[in-house]
């Protein structure tokens, strides 16, 4: 059972950033308004995610670490849930199989539990006192799977993957205060006051925030809202384009391309915009294909959305010249 757990774990947990993503999504699912992430050594030696969410009741703790156990109802029309469908109830079990995990949790301010999982087994659960919410501490990732450990890149690379995923989740949740700490250094903190522009500023800095232009528009099927940075502020990679569909960060090549097309000749070769674009739509128009953790989605009526994005961006930038 242990070996099969480790194999299954490898599909969900590829690297430290996958652990961070799963734990942060769990915190959001638990209605947290504050999420604090701390990592050491690119997450390889330590990942801690603390939230002020619902917490987990004592009796539910063994279940939380069991494979295919989930407390979440799958409606099939909720995109957020569709995104985790491929491994529902697998994240904690998978992490527990390939790392040393400690969880403290409480459903109230006061009495709660501390649980320890090693090699996939719940080896300890005892009463402890802490504020409402949950803290997961993940140590020595892949300590028992040397093959996987070998694939890890440098601390800096793993850290940048972590920062990238936390950035984008935070960009999609301006109502939640996120803090990302590398060892003792705070990489960024958002205030969680619902102010989207301020959230972008907290993550990308003031020079980007000052160059932001709002875009907004809709078609029959899609509602688009977001911020694009003026072409003076560009980056050497596409990583500063964030697309959110119904609040969830996704990757979609055609949408990126449509955005870049909207900038037209204003972008120099090899330069890419900074942009955060949220799309709201009927979840039935989203196709979650390929591997679920890859976050790539296909859209029905994609052309309708790509031309809207190109048009909105082009119109906004065109106005700027006048």
Q: Contact positions toward ligand ADP, by CB under 6 A? A: 22, 26-27, 29-30, 51, 53-56, 64, 70-72, 84, 88-93, 134
Note the helical H segments in 151-195. 155-172
Output the smallest distance, CB 49 to ligand ADP, in A.
Answer: 7
User: Whole-number minimum distance, CB 292 to ligand ADP, in Å?
Assistant: 11
Query: Least distance (Å) from ligand ADP to the CB of residue 195?
Result: 25
**Structural tokens at position 6:** 């480790």
Beta strands 100-106; 177-182: pairing state: unpaired
Q: Please, which residue, 105 or 234, has the CB nearer to ligand ADP?
A: 105
Considering beta carbons, is residue 27 or 44 the nearer one to ligand ADP? 27
**CA-wise closest residue to 93 among 150, 171, 11, 153:** 11
Nearer to ligand ADP, 92 or 309 (CB): 92
Distance in Å, CB of 70 to Mg ion, minimum: 7
Q: How far apart are CA 298 and CA 300, in angstroms?
A: 7
Tokens 């156990």 correspond to 69
CB 112 within 8 A of CB 66: no
Q: What residues pair up with 134 in beta bridges, in sequence order? A: 51, 105
Binding site for Mg ion (CB under 5 A): 26, 91
Choose from ligand ADP, Mg ion, none: what does 27 bind? Cβ within 5-8 Å by kind. Answer: ligand ADP
The structure tokens listed for 54 are: 């619902």
Kindly tell me which of 26 and 199 has the beta carbon lying closer to Mg ion: 26
Contact 2, 94 (CB under 8 A): no
CB of 79 or CB of 91, closer to Mg ion: 91
Question: How far are the Cα atoms of 68, 240, 314 from residue 258, in angstroms, in the given order?
Answer: 38, 15, 10
Query: Shortest gap between Cβ of 136 and ligand ADP (angstroms)?
Result: 7
* Least spacing, CB of residue 87 vs Mg ion, in Å: 8
Query: Phi/psi class of residue 287: alpha, beta or left (left: φ > 0; alpha: ψ in -120 to 50)?
Result: beta
User: Which does residue 158 bind out of ligand ADP, Mg ion, none, counting CB within 5 to 8 angstroms by kind?
Assistant: none
| Contacted entry of Mg ion, ligand ADP, none for residue 285, CB cut-off 5 to 8 Å set by kind | none
Q: Is 129 left (phi over 0), alpha (psi -120 to 50) or beta?
A: beta
Q: Which does 19 bind (CB under 5 to 8 A by kind): Mg ion, ligand ADP, none?
A: none
223 contact partners, CB below 8 Å, separation of at least 6: 217, 279, 280, 281
CB of 173 to ligand ADP, least distance (A): 15
CA torsion through residues 198, 225, 161, 40, sign: positive
Least CB distance to ligand ADP at residue 116 (A): 16
For residue 256, the partner it binds in ligand ADP, Mg ion, none, with Cβ less than 5 to 8 A by kind, is none
Residue 202, contacted partner among ligand ADP, Mg ion, none, CB below 5-8 A by kind: none
Q: Which is nearer to Mg ion, 43 or 273 (CB)?
A: 43
The one of ligand ADP, Mg ion, none whose footprint includes residue 53, by CB under 5 to 8 A per kind, is ligand ADP
- Distance of alpha carbon 150 from alpha carbon 148, whole angstroms: 5
Pick the closer one to Mg ion by CB: 48 or 234: 48
Nearer to Mg ion, 8 or 308 (CB): 8
């Amino acid at each position: 059972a242990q070996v099969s757990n480790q194999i299954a774990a490898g599909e969900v947990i590829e690297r430290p950033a996958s652990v961070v993503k799963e734990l942060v999504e769990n915190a959001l699912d638990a209605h947290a308004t504050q999420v604090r992430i701390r990592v050491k050594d690119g997450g390889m030696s330590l990942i801690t995610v603390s939230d002020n969410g619902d917490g987990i009741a004592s009796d539910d703790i063994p279940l939380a670490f069991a494979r295919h156990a989930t407390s979440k109802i799958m409606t099939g029309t909720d995109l957020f849930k569709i995104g985790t469908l491929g491994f529902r109830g697998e994240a904690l079990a998978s992490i527990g199989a390939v790392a040393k995990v400690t969880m403290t949790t409480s459903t109230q301010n006061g009495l709660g539990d501390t649980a320890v999982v090693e090699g996939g087994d719940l080896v300890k659960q005892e009463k402890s006192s802490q504020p409402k919410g949950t803290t997961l501490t993940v140590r020595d990732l892949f300590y028992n799977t040397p093959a996987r450990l070998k694939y890890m890149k440098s601390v800096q690379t793993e850290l940048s993957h972590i920062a990238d995923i936390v950035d984008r989740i935070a960009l999609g949740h301006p109502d939640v205060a996120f803090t990302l700490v590398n060892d003792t250094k705070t990489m960024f903190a958002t205030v969680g006051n619902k102010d989207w522009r301020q959230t972008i500023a907290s993550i990308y800095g003031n020079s980007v925030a000052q160059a932001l232009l709002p875009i907004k528009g809709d078609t029959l099927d899609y509602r688009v809202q977001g911020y694009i940075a003026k072409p003076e502020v560009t980056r050497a990679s596409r990583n500063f384009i964030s697309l959110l569909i119904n609040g969830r960060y996704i990757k979609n090549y055609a949408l990126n391309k449509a955005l870049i097309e909207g900038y037209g000749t204003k972008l120099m070769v090899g330069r890419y915009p900074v942009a955060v674009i949220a799309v709201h739509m009927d979840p039935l128009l989203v196709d979650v294909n390929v591997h679920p953790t890859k976050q790539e989605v296909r859209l029905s009526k994609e052309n309708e959305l790509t031309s809207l994005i190109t048009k909105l961006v082009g119109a906004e930038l065109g106005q700027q010249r006048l």
